[in-house]
Structure 1
Amino acid sequence: MARPLVAEINLAALRHNYQLALNQSPTASALAVVKANAYGHGAVEVAKALADLAPAFAVACIEEAQQLRAAGIKQPITLMEGFFEASELPIIFANNYQPLIHSHWQVAALVQYLIHNPTPAASLNTWLKVDTGMHRLGFTLAEAASVYQQLKALPAINQITLTSHFACADDLANPATLKQLVAFKNLQQQLNCPISIANSPATLGWPAAQTGCLRPGIMLYGASPFATGHVLGDQLQTVMTLKTQLISVSELPAGESVGYGARFVTQKITQMGVAACGYGDGYPRQALDGTPVVVNGIRCSLAGRVSMDMITLDLSLCPNAKIGDEVLLWGASLPVNEVASYCDTISYTLLTSLLPRVKRIYLNQ
């Protein structure tokens, strides 16, 4: 019998979330961000599920793009970190990839490549990354126009999309987002070019950013980018349900410790359960005692340190639990954001950390 830990991926919910993004701007388009194995959900399966809706996809690097092409995905694919060395350029031109240009060395490499290959097989669409305040990647506002003109002068370059990234869009009260947006739009008006600025929180929460090519990422997978309730974030549908089963149930007297480091000690006679899931599957080892799980529809809690392959649970609130009963680790009735709050992390980390040995089951294909 197979190990019972599985991640069910609801592709109908995925499509709903993509449409919710698109609905925020009738004049905008939206590429689907499927980097990091579609945030742990399976990049190929997710891209296929969105292939009739999304006009383009975005990944971090050429290896991720190649995986999609090998699976038959035909849409343009944006490389959100651009290219890492000039040797990638022939593959980029041949496969309709759209590299994000964020450094002067990339511009120089592109110029040199076109000197030696003046008539490439196809023209290239590129993205020009400008740093509007996050200070991670991109050209300064002062130099972006000059770089844009350099790229535009290359005969093999077709469309150039101006892009940037918000640092604080998940905080709707933070003025940094509007400051970035004003700087970005001033530059866009100067260049009169296509733009992409709205990540998931901007797509849902910043109307002034809902223009050009939207870039929904975490929201596609049903996790709200906001720490508190939000009228649109609350409309997202859960895509991943991570669940397993109890593989042991026992009763311990008061005063007994459980798990590595003896972190949890029973205060009374306690029914304990063991479930098949651990940090070897990607479940966070830093999860605190009290981290919620759902057993037979009843909220119970983690009790003891997470092991590589198992977690131990306090079943006091579910006294009739037995071996084989379902344990929900996150899903519609237990949001991944809530679990993340007990682990000093965010939903992005939990979803992308799910390891390959966890079987993905795709629903509503």
Structure 2
Amino acid sequence: MKTSRPIRARIAPAAILHNYRLAKSHAPQAKAWAVVKANAYGHGQWRAVEALRGEADGFALLECENAVALREAGVTQPILLLEGVFSARDVRAVIEHRLTCVVHCLEQLELLVRNGQFTAPVALYLKLNTGMNRLGFTPETLGKAWAILQQLPQVDVSLMTHFAEADGERGVSEQLERFRRMAGDWRGPVSLANSAAILRHPTTHGDWVRPGIMLYGASPFAEISAESLGLQPVMTLESAIIGVQDLVAGDRVGYGGTFTADKPMRIGVVACGYADGYPRHATSGTPIAVMGKRTQTVGRVSMDMMACDLTDIPEAGIGAPVTLWGEGIAGSVPADEVAAAAGTIAYELFCALAPRVPVSLDETATVNRK
């Protein structure tokens, strides 16, 4: 999509590959599902798949129709449906297209029994609820699940769970112990580790790990930067200054006048707002870069525009380049810092990128970029 408005997002495929390899280096004995759900966390499912097509051990996503589309496009690696099947049609697609299917409740197992005509083994991941309390079998329902599985002789079973606090102080020990109790003497394949567990809890690596946010260059830890982890940013959101205002002390900026100048200031107006996916709740002081210099936002983010402080960047005028997050010609602004200032996480920034923002590939980035 082309637009005369200066805002755009750039995606660096080489950075996705670098980050995938980094995940693999932390779990060298495991295979890795490249998680491309939610349109690859807002980066574009097909862009992520093409970046990893030659190296990914497998891809993980949600929608059966998207998995089928990957198969029809020639993707031969295993494809994991993270929420499993929702209909008889999904069951038929799992069998026909050799998809790997998470099963998290008795109803899904019964759906498979009723609608599956298994002419070849189908790979299933039995999900155990070890404390996240979203999806998964509990100790009370797991026995019945195993009983139903006996009616499906043409299946290859793996076990999985999802950690709620792999990035926090409580860690994974409690959930890991619950998993071990529920699994009993299970000696088959397991998949446990998300991005945080891959980086922090090597005892969870098992047979398959599931890197998600780390693929896209953001840190899974609030207190540790992506750069210090060796991750490379994949998405850069950039725009330009489209207006300049000179303020005197007492002047206010934006809707609601939430920012008041306490001295003479020079303010730049950026072509970016919440309709582009920038968080409306980002407060004054959120980091931004203009012409290679870090500065901060001022006032409330509006639908199509936002303001930033140009007082110490006198060379910046209309047309000056701006980096909202990522690594742009206007400077580097880690998405994690923007997210923290806005009281959210980088996951949300990436996923919220609006369809009206043009996206292009940054082919200048390389896997070995420092």
Q: TM-score if structure 2 supplies the norm length?
A: 0.91
Q: Distance in 2 between matches of 1:279 and 1:66?
A: 33
Specify the alignment match of 1:138 in structure 2: 136
Report SS of the residue matched to 2:163.
coil
Unaligned runs of 5+ in 1: none
Q: Which amino acid aligns with 1:293?
A: I
**Partner AA of 1:174 in structure 2:** R
SS in 1 for 2:55: coil
Find the aligned partners of 1:323 and 1:74 in 2 and give their Cα distance. Answer: 49
Aligned match of 2:368: none
Indicate the SS of the match to 2:4.
Answer: coil
Amino acid paired to 1:340: A
Structure 2 unmatched runs, 5+: 365-370
Q: For structure 1, which segment, 79-88 or 227-236, has the greater mean C-alpha deviation from structure 2 after superposition?
A: 227-236
Aligned-residue offset at 1:75: 2.2
What's 2:29 paired with? 27
Query: What residue identity is the alignment partner of 1:96?
Result: R
The answer for the alignment partner of 1:169 in structure 2 is 166
Structure 1 SS opposite 2:101: strand
Cross-structure match for 1:257 = 252
Equivalent position to 2:95, from 93, 118, 124: 93
Q: 2:294 aligned with 1:299, yes or no?
A: yes
Q: Which letter does structure 2 place at the counterpart of 1:161?
A: S
Kept in 2, the 8 Å contact 1:204–1:233? The answer is no
SS of residue matched to 1:331: strand
- Do the aligned partners of residues 310 and 66 (structure 1) sit closer, same or farther apart at CA in structure 2, a change above 3 Å counting? farther
Distance 1:318 1:50, change over 3 A: same
Q: Using the alignment, how far apart are the partners of 1:59 and 1:113 within structure 2? A: 22
1:342-361 to structure 2, matched below 5 A, reads 342-361=341-360
Q: 1:70 to 1:233 in 2, by over 3 A?
A: farther
2:57 corresponds, among 55, 70, 91, to 55
Single out whichever of 182-191 and 241-250 deviates more from structure 2.
182-191
Aligned 8 A contact 1:44 1:67 in 2? no
Which has the higher mean CA deviation after the structures are superposed, 8-17 or 187-196? 187-196
Higher mean C-alpha deviation, range 84-93 or range 207-216: 84-93
State the alpha-carbon separation in 1 of the partners of residues 225 and 144 from structure 2.
40
Shift in Å, 1:104: 0.7
**Counterpart code for 2:52:** L
* Aligned residue type for 1:168: E
Match in the other structure for 1:17? 19
- The answer to whether the 8 A contact 2:282-2:300 is kept is yes
**3-state DSSP class of the match of 1:280?**
helix
Pairing partner for 1:105 from 104, 107, 131: 107
- In the alignment, the residues of structure 1 paired with residue 242 and residue 226 of structure 2 have an alpha-carbon distance, to the nearest angstrom, of 40
Aligned-partner Cα distance in 2 for 1:61–1:231:
29
Shift of 1:87: 2.9
Q: Relative to 1, partners in 2 of residues 1:107 and 1:286: Cα closer, same or farther, differing over 3 Å?
A: same
1:310 aligns to 2:301 (yes or no) = no
Contact preservation (8 Å) 1:246, 1:323: yes
CA contact (8 A) 2:104 2:135 kept: yes
Q: Tell me whether 1:151 sits opposite 2:149 in the alignment.
A: yes
Q: Distance in 2 between matches of 1:92 and 1:294?
A: 47
Give how far 1:72 is off: 3.8
- CA distance in structure 2 between the aligned counterparts of 1:92 and 1:148, rounded to whole angstroms: 20
Q: Could you say which residue in structure 2 is the equivalent of 1:338?
A: 337
Preserved CA contact (<8 Å) 1:225 1:233: no
Asked if the contact 2:289–2:323 (Cα under 8 Å) also holds between the matched residues in 1, the reply is: yes
The CA distance in 2 between the partners of 1:32 and 1:49, in whole Å, is 11
Matched, 1:5 2:7: yes
Q: Are 1:181 and 2:176 matched, yes or no?
A: yes
| Shift in Å, 1:263 | 1.3
**Structure 1 residues 45-102: Cα deviation after superposition (integer angstroms, max 9, x where no partner):** 1111101111210012224324434544332211111112233211222222222111
For 1:260 and 1:196, locate their aligned partners in 2 and report how far apart those are by CA, in whole Å: 48
> How far apart in 2 are the matches of 1:275 and 1:231?
26
CA deviations over 1:2-33 (Å, ceiling 9, x no partner): 22211111111111110111112222100100
Deviations 1:312-359 (Å, cap 9, x if unpaired)?
112112122111111111114211111111111111111111112212
Give the Cα separation in 2 of the matches to 1:311 and 1:231: 26
Cα pair distance change 1:160/1:364, threshold 3 Å: farther
Q: 1:230 to 1:360 in 2, by over 3 A?
A: closer
**Aligned partner of residue 245 in structure 1, secondary structure:** strand
One-letter amino acid of the structure 2 residue matched with residue 23 of structure 1: S
Q: Identity, % of aligned pairs? A: 44
